[in-house]
Structure 1
Amino acid sequence: MKKLLFGLLLITVGCQNSPKQASSKPQTYFDLKGYVESQIAMLKKTNPVVRKEVSVNEESETLVTPKIDWTKELELFLQADINKPAYTQSYFIDTLSANTVSYRLRQGEHLPIQFLEVIRDEQNRPSKIKATMLEKNYLFESEKILTLESTDGRLSSYQIEGFQQLFIGDPKPFRITTLVQ
């Protein structure tokens, strides 16, 4: 399990940029960072039991524990926030329905977050958030699809899946599926 978690840590956190943003700036897009930070605070207080399945290549392991560092655990969702001053003109906003809004990267832009979709429940709370992150350079290519689901305003599950491929070698697929009880 330690090898899987270490390998996954390298896959998910490696080579990520996280520019800082002043919190007093108006939000152009959905405030993913604010939402995830509020969920982290709630999860730290309630300390729920978590069932986490980690798969790297063909190996998988399952862990059931209440001991989770929520800030580290949800770091990729924080990195998927598109409310950065430099990004204000970088995304198309599509209102797909009264409860669904998506943000698509404009052609010609080269940012890691390609797509973000937010589905809200009847009380206007996010019930499902999905983001696609893509990084590509001369050394490696990485794609991550992040999905976060909430029930009654509380995080209930999340999934991170994708692959990383070094310039030599085959793609290494991975998947993390977590249920919050």
Structure 2
Amino acid sequence: MEVLPYFNLKGLMDLELAKLDGAEVSKISEINGEETTVEKTYSLKEWKEEFEAFYSADINTPALALSYLTETEGEYLIHRLLPEAKGKVKEIRIKYIKEYPVSVSIKTTDKNLFFSTTTIGEFYISQANEKLDHYTLETSQKVWFLDPTHIKISGVVK
């Protein structure tokens, strides 16, 4: 088995989402203050699309091997982008209870001359049934000359 320099977020996502294949979610989507609520059953493929922000926050690449400071604070394992390093993922924070991750939060930013975007995401794993329980994703995007767009998604797995 390959030893990775950082927490295996992609591996955890694959493991947890496989448990949710065919599960129903109650989801609230808010775009610029306009809210929509849906209840939907997701296939594994749809779950992976829903959690794409977490998949794309994987920092286990050779280019990022020395880009993060890893530390523990109580029950948290934290990977923070070093000030001099370049990377979209600014922080990954994993909370452990009894050596098993029970929550993961990410913060990513991307900025260039024409746009900027920030995404903050969190998901929680129930200790009772050891399945992903609920999640939130919040994104703010600003494109040059346009008003900012704010998107917030909250989901509760049934």
> Which TM-score applies when normalising by structure 1?
0.81
What residue in structure 2 maps to residue 112 of structure 1?
Answer: 88
Distance 2:126 2:100 in 1: 9
Q: List runs of 5+ in structure 2 lacking aligned partners.
A: none
What residue in structure 1 maps to residue 125 of structure 2?
Answer: 150
Aligned-partner residue type, residue 148 of structure 1 = F
Shift of 1:170: 2.1
What residue in structure 1 maps to residue 77 of structure 2?
Answer: 101
Contact 2:29 / 2:35 at 8 angstroms: preserved in 1?
A: yes
Is residue 2:53 matched to residue 1:81? Answer: no
- Say which SS state the counterpart of residue 72 (structure 1) adopts: helix
Aligned-partner residue type, residue 120 of structure 1 = Y
Contact 2:107 / 2:121 at 8 angstroms: preserved in 1?
A: yes
What residue in structure 2 maps to residue 17 of structure 1?
Answer: none
What residue in structure 1 maps to residue 140 of structure 2?
Answer: 163
**How many matched pairs?**
154
Is residue 2:26 matched to residue 1:42? Answer: no
- Say which SS state the counterpart of residue 135 (structure 1) adopts: strand
Normalized per residue, the structure richer in strand is 2
Distance 1:89 1:170 in 2: 36
Shift of 1:25: 3.8
Contact 2:67 / 2:86 at 8 angstroms: preserved in 1?
A: no
**1:25-40 correspondence to structure 2 within 5 Å:** 25-40=2-17
Is residue 2:106 matched to residue 1:131? Answer: yes
What residue in structure 2 maps to residue 11 of structure 1?
Answer: none
Contact 2:126 / 2:132 at 8 angstroms: preserved in 1?
A: yes
| Root mean square deviation, CA, Å | 1.2
> Which TM-score applies when normalising by structure 2?
0.92
Distance 1:56 1:85 in 2: 36
Shift of 1:162: 2.3
Normalized per residue, the structure richer in helix is 1
Distance 1:138 1:25 in 2: 38
Aligned-partner residue type, residue 121 of structure 1 = I
Distance 2:157 2:146 in 1: 35
Give the fraction of aligned pairs with identical amino acids, expressed as a percent.
26
Q: List runs of 5+ in structure 1 lacking aligned partners.
A: 1-23
